Amino acid sequence: MKKFRSLLVLAAFLGCACVWTSAAGAPNAPDAANETGAAAAAAALPRRFEGGFKWNDRVLGSEVAVKLTSVRAVGGLIWAEGEGRHVEEYFRTNIAVELVIDPATLAVEMWEKSPRGTRDNPKFATEGSYRGEISPDWKTIRAIWTTTATGRKGVLTIKAN
């Protein structure tokens, strides 16, 4: 009975401390009921994403790239900071990004800050946030941008590369 109880304790510990992988070897969201799970999820999060953004009321979109430079687990959540780039028509805008992921629900919120570039885009909005989710394999973020003052919306889809 003592050996059985020891095995149960070991199995419970390993279940919380490991990042589970699929048959293809891609990390899946770990059990993030505690800080250990969030730390494992933070380690598994890709650091580079590329894709696009399109305003709901526009025909053309922009190319988007995000590079995460700091990722940490805090309070069962993943907090990340980095830099990004939007390329739209004649404008190339560099930005600072901050995002939070709840590994238990895969919910994501991302903010863009400090837009700058060789040709500052007077229409570039930073008063709002993206809200959406990261895929279970941690490779795709899909989120809706909502501008705080106007409610204007757009769709972001970025994939790990």
pLDDT digits (tens, 9 = 90+) for 38-96: 999 999 999 999 999 999 998 889 999 999 999 999 999 999 999 999 998 778 889 99
Per-residue pLDDT at 17 exceeds 70: no
DSSP, collapsed to helix, strand or coil, labels residue 42 as helix
Residue 160 bridge partners (DSSP): 49
Query: Structural domain tally of the chain?
Result: 1
| Angstrom distance (rounded) from CA 137 to CA 115 | 30
| Angstrom distance (rounded) from CA 35 to CA 132 | 22
Percent pLDDT > 90 in the chain is 62
- Find the mean pLDDT for residues 132-143: 97
User: Residue 92 sits in a domain of what CATH number?
Assistant: 2.40.128.620
| Angstrom distance (rounded) from CA 12 to CA 135 | 25
User: Whose structure tokens read 């590329």?
Assistant: 50
In a domain, 9, yes or no: no
**Of residues 74 and 21, more confidently modeled:** 74
Average pLDDT across the chain, whole number: 80
In a domain, 81, yes or no: yes
Instruction: Tell me, yes or no, if the pTM score tops 0.85.
Output: no
Residue 54 bridge partners (DSSP): 155
DSSP for 7-34, written as a single string: HHHHHHHHHHHPPPB-TT--B-----SS
Helix (H), strand (E) counts: the chain: 2, 8
Q: What is the pLDDT of residue 2?
A: 41
What is the extent of the structural domain holding 139? Answer: 46-160
**What angle separates helix 2-17 from helix 35-44, to the nearest 10 degrees?**
50
**Of residues 146 and 118, more confidently modeled:** 146
Q: Between vectors from CA 157 to CA 151 and to CA 158, what angle results, nearest 5°?
A: 130
- The amino acid at residue 90 is Y
In a domain, 17, yes or no: no
| Angstrom distance (rounded) from CA 85 to CA 64 | 6
- The amino acid at residue 154 is G
Per-residue pLDDT at 124 exceeds 80: no
Q: What is the pLDDT of residue 34?
A: 54
Confidence of residue 102 (pLDDT cuts 50, 70, 90): very high
